[in-house]
Structures are given as structure tokens and as C-alpha cells.
Structure 1
Amino acid sequence: MHATLPLLEATDFPPISRGATETLQVNLGYLCNQSCVHCHVNAGPHRTEMMTPELIDTIIEVLKARRIGTLDLTGGAPEMNPEFRRLVSAARALGVHVIDRCNLTILFEPGQEGLAEFLAENRVEVVASLPCYSLDNVDKQRGKGVFDKSIRALQHLNGLGYGQTQEGLQLNLVYNPQGPVLPPNQEALQADYKRELFDHFGVVFNGLYALANMPINRFGSMLISKGQFEPYMELLKQNYSEANLHGVMCRSLISVDWQGRLYDCDFNQQLGLALGGKTGARLDDLLKKDADGLGICVADHCYGCTAGQGSSCGGAL
């Protein structure tokens, strides 16, 4: 049974439209050195999808043409694309703020020598996934040995100046629940993370993003296999908050897949729901006109962003 099919039926999620585009979020490919249970893109070591150098060139052209302020790089492990450092350098030369959605253990992979130093030199914001501050929970979700490597990576980033001050190199962590539940209060959880990571490992960071798990792809398949898909969707709908509609990421972000196709958000990308519900939208289109004011393609998974305290690429709303 396909985990995404129930989401694509008629939805009662309210219609919304986008404002000015502030962020271009680019998926550089599905290759990753990890295979996490909650991964909504099914990334892993055996995936071969990768954005080409030609499309990287177009990304740079779009950043110039649209004067977009933030480039948000994701994957898989975005750093595993051979063009990663070239794209980062070009974006920074344009004055664009760059975010690297980093799984931390990538810093120790062969071929990634000097990656942390490169990120620091280019003042790249690191958004790092660490689903818990305890070894057992992290290794259960991300694989054996991941927690220890992640702590070493955080300590290395701290040594380069990351996470030390609000004005300095930005290091933000990402929390995902272990199962089909809403994330706890972000502010309280951040305090717990800061205390535990500093007391036990001397690690400091700027902020914590508490994100809801989306019922699509790998996580959605797990929910269906355990008979938890419908109860989880009902949980999201029961906790819908209209106030969160104003802050959802799709209002100011355009998502680009590894083939250069455009979407309203990363989750719509995985469901094949094109930008504004119009099929065929591609990166080249942004060189001709912007997407301001377009309607946003919505489905039931959108309740994941508006439930409870809300959930976006920047944490709780």
C-alpha cells in the first residue's frame, strides 16, 4: 500500500496563497550516508539521484535574477553532491544567506575532509538533525553509532565558532518525535537540550527546531504497516490551529527538486504536487517571472504544519 495515497484525496484544508519568495530550498539529491526511519524523502547510501552541474548553474542564475535572500540546501546529504561547495561559494559571493541541512555524521565521511572548515569560512548556517539528546533514542532512529559521531561533529563545529553567540556562526538543531505524536513545546525542549548537551558533552548551539513528522514516504509507510496512519492524521486534524496558517513556510519558500522541478514545499515535492498545482513548473520559469501571489497546492499532509504549535523548516510557528 502506498503511504501517500490517502493524502491525495479531497481535502478540507483551507486555501492559501504565497507572498514574496524569500527562500529557495534546493534538494541536491537523495544520496545520503544515513537511512533514518523518519526520513520523508527515502534518502540513503544507495540512492543515485543527483542534481547536475547545469542545474546548479541555473540555481545561481535564479539567485541573481530574483534577488532571493536565502538558499536552503537539503537532500539526502546535500554535501554529497560534488557541486555543493561551488554552489555555496557562488551564493555567498552574491550576498545570499546559505543554510546547510546537515546530518552531522557527514563531516567524517571520506571525501568530506575540511567540510566543517569550509562551512565556517563561508559563514553557512548549519541546521543539524539530532532527534534526541540521549544515545539510545538517536541510534534507534538513525543507526548505531550515529549519536557519538554527531556529538563529535557538534564539538568540532563549536571549536570553529559555531553556536557560541547569536551574532556569530549559527548552529541550530532539529528534533523529530520518535513516533506518531506531536512534538513537545519547543522552548521547554530547547532548554532541556541545552542543559543536557552542555552538562554531558560541553556542546552549545543557538536554537532548537521541533518539527512534526510528516505522514509520507518512509514514515508514512511505517504508520500504515502498524495501522497508525488514520489515527495520526486524526491527531493532526484535531490539533489544527488557524493562527499557524500565517507562518507556514510555503508562503515565502519555493522548493526545487534534484531535476529542477518546482514545488510549494519539500513535502509537496515528495508527493509530486507541483508549484501551485500546475504541472511542469521548472527552475527556468523563475528566470522569466516570479511566483508571488500564486495559489498553494494543499492536501491533508498540510495539517502536519498547522497542528499544535505548528511546524516549519524554521521550527515551531
Structure 2
Amino acid sequence: MDGATHRQGESFGERLARHGLSLARERTTALQVNLGLVCDLACAHCHLEAGPARSEMMPLTVMDEVIACARRFRFDSIDLTGGAPELVPELPYLVRGVAPETPRLIVRTNLVSLEGERGEELLRLYRELKVVLVASLPAVNQSQTEAQRGGGAWERSIRALKRLNELGYGLPGGPLELDLVSNPSGAFLPPPQLQAQEKFRRDLARRHGVSFHNLYTFANVPLGRFRRFLERSGNLEGYLEKLGAGFNPCAVAGVMCRSQLSVDWRGRLYDCDFHLARGVFQGGEERLISALVELPPPGTPIAVADHCYACTVGSGFT
């Protein structure tokens, strides 16, 4: 799969070995918390198949275990994701519980979940605690965005971004960080990150008066709803070939699983959210965050699977 050559069937582990690379932990500095699969969108690229028909969400008992873990280990960052975290009723409880325990609290949002009175309450809380917001916005035009997220999502997303700017988020030089994440709307790879960031910044400012701090472009991971789309459309093999051809050995050193621990809504531990989607437990066996007495030491091997190709294409998942 290097250059024009497609090495049929070469696993990700084999690719690493061929490049003289391995995947092992460094110091664990980040905790990612998946609050569940309930979401008000059913995005075509979702590796978790989150959506309105899902009901999985983190109960208060597990939130207390997450807060206790944050107090024990004092992570450099804590990252709350989903699904749509805003749809979890007890989200404010968790945010207030972990915010004092980390210098960088991140909440990932699909933007449309910030609408209404509930959204305004959360925005006031985020601003009070200086929460970093990472917002999903697939593209800078309506057709591509709604192809991935459904009708009406574009206007709702732009309204949310404007409201965030009104509250001080995403302003140049401002302290309230607003970052965007873009995933392609089909079976192709994202453009170079800096190029895409300049286009997003220029188009959103000119057409909508919206500003933000950073844009991250990520390849879609061939799991969940996106994998089913690839299978139905006959694009699975071709997409996997593109991921393999785009493998960047330099990206392996910066992948997030080296420094991150992931926990799901039941309190189970993983190396990353994609392993969570596949049920690949951290350390090879099911363990709960409540029983975590020490972090995985540097040098601990990280399980690999072929979906890891998506994390090492282009700039990679960092």
C-alpha cells in the first residue's frame, strides 16, 4: 500500500513491523470519557453508530468513579465525548466535578445540541469554567454538511457558532478556546490540515462572520455506521487501500493512544475511542475505572487493528 503499490492484506501490525515501528504507551496524561451513544444526529461517518434511537448513557455512579479517578491521577487534560454529551442530563454534575482536577477540560459538541434553554445553561457553565470546546463541522458549505449530518444541520450549526462567538468563544487572542473538527463526507481522505484550516477560516469569516481557533482534519474510521456505508456502496476495499497508501510512519509517534486512557459509559477502560467501538479493552481484559490504582506504565504495548490505519494517514490523530 506504499505509493502506487497495494500490498493486499497487509495488517496494520505488519506495516508497523516493516517500518521498524511498534506502538507502546508513553506517560498517560489524558483521560477521554465517552458519556454514551445518545445523540440528536445520526452522522454518516459515526464509528459508534450514535443517534436518536440509542439510549446508552453514563449514570451518576460511573460519573463519581470518573471524578474520583481524576482526583487520583490529575490528568493534564480530560476530554468528554459521546454521542452528544449535552444530551446526558447529569453532564453539568460531571463537568463541575472534574474541572477543578485538570488544567484543560474539553467537551466535544456537534453544535446542534447547544440549542434551546438547556444549551444556554451549558454554555454559561462552559464559559464560567473556561471549558475548551471542540465542535464538529464537516464542511464550509450546506450540501456537504447535510449529506453527513442530515437536513437542517447546517443552519443550526452556524447559529451555534455565532452564539459561541457572542459569548467570547473562538475570538482571535481570546481565552475561550473553540476548535473545529472536520471529517470528509464520503469515501475519501481529508485535505491537508493547514490548507483546510485556511479555507474554513476565510469562508466562515466572510460568509457568516464566524471565527475559531484551530481546525483538525481527521480521516473517517472504517467502523460502525461509516463501515456499513462503505460496504453498501461498494467502497470498502477502495477506502481501505486509500488508508494504507496514505500511511505516514511519522504520525505513529503522535497518535493519541500513546498518552490517553479512554473510559466508556459503563466505566470500562480502552486505549482509545475506536478500540471502544470495537470492544478492544485496554490491556486485553475488561477492567473498570473504579479499580484503577495505577496508570499503565510507559512501554505498555497497545493493541492494534486495521482501523488504526485511519489514525496514521496524513497528519494522523494527535
Q: TM-score, normalised by structure 2?
A: 0.91
What per-residue deviation string (whole Å, max 9, x for no partner) do you get for residues 163-183 of structure 1? 113451000011111112111
Aligned equivalent of 2:50: 43
Aligned equivalent of 1:267: 274
1:111 CA displacement? 3.7
For 1:99-248, list aligned pairs within 5 A. 99-109=106-116, 111-248=118-255
In structure 2, what is the Cα distance between the partners aligned to 1:299 and 1:109?
41
Q: Is the 8 A contact 1:91 1:97 kept in 2?
A: no
Q: Is the 8 A contact 1:163 1:204 kept in 2?
A: yes
In structure 1, what is the Cα distance between the partners aligned to 2:160 and 2:302?
37
In structure 2, what is the Cα distance between the partners aligned to 1:246 and 1:44?
33
Paired amino acid for 1:283: I
What per-residue deviation string (whole Å, max 9, x for no partner) do you get for residues 191-212 of structure 1? 1111110111100000101010
Q: Is the 8 A contact 2:140 2:204 kept in 1?
A: yes
In structure 1, the residue corresponding to 2:215 is in which secondary structure?
strand
In structure 2, what is the Cα distance between the partners aligned to 1:51 and 1:194?
35
Aligned equivalent of 2:6: none
In structure 1, what is the Cα distance between the partners aligned to 2:84 and 2:106?
13
In structure 2, what is the Cα distance between the partners aligned to 1:63 and 1:167?
27
* Alignment pair present for 1:280 and 2:265: no
1:281 CA displacement? 2.1
In structure 2, what is the Cα distance between the partners aligned to 1:194 and 1:177?
17
The root-mean-square deviation of aligned C-alpha atoms, in Å, is 1.6
Aligned equivalent of 2:77: 70
In structure 1, what is the Cα distance between the partners aligned to 2:249 and 2:46?
27
1:10 CA displacement? 8.3
In structure 2, the residue corresponding to 1:85 is in which secondary structure?
helix
How many residues of Structure 1 are paired with residues of Structure 2 in the alignment?
303
Structure 2: runs of 5+ lacking an equivalent: 1-8, 17-21
In structure 1, the residue corresponding to 2:47 is in which secondary structure?
coil
Q: Which is further off, 110-119 or 255-264?
A: 110-119
Structure 1: runs of 5+ lacking an equivalent: 1-6
1:90 CA displacement? 1.6
* Alignment pair present for 1:306 and 2:312: yes
Which of 269, 289, 314 is equivalent to 2:294? 289
Q: Which is further off, 82-91 or 28-37?
A: 82-91
In structure 2, what is the Cα distance between the partners aligned to 1:285 and 1:19?
21
Deviating beyond 6 angstroms after TM superposition, the runs of 4 or more aligned structure 1 residues are none
Q: Is the 8 A contact 1:13 1:299 kept in 2?
A: no
Paired amino acid for 2:134: V
Q: TM-score, normalised by structure 1?
A: 0.92
In structure 1, the residue corresponding to 2:119 is in which secondary structure?
coil
Identity, % of aligned pairs? 42
What per-residue deviation string (whole Å, max 9, x for no partner) do you get for residues 62-112 of structure 1? 111111121100011011112211111122222441111001111115643
Q: Is the 8 A contact 1:174 1:208 kept in 2?
A: yes
Paired amino acid for 1:161: G
Q: Is the 8 A contact 2:86 2:114 kept in 1?
A: no
1:139 CA displacement? 1.3
1:224 CA displacement? 1.0
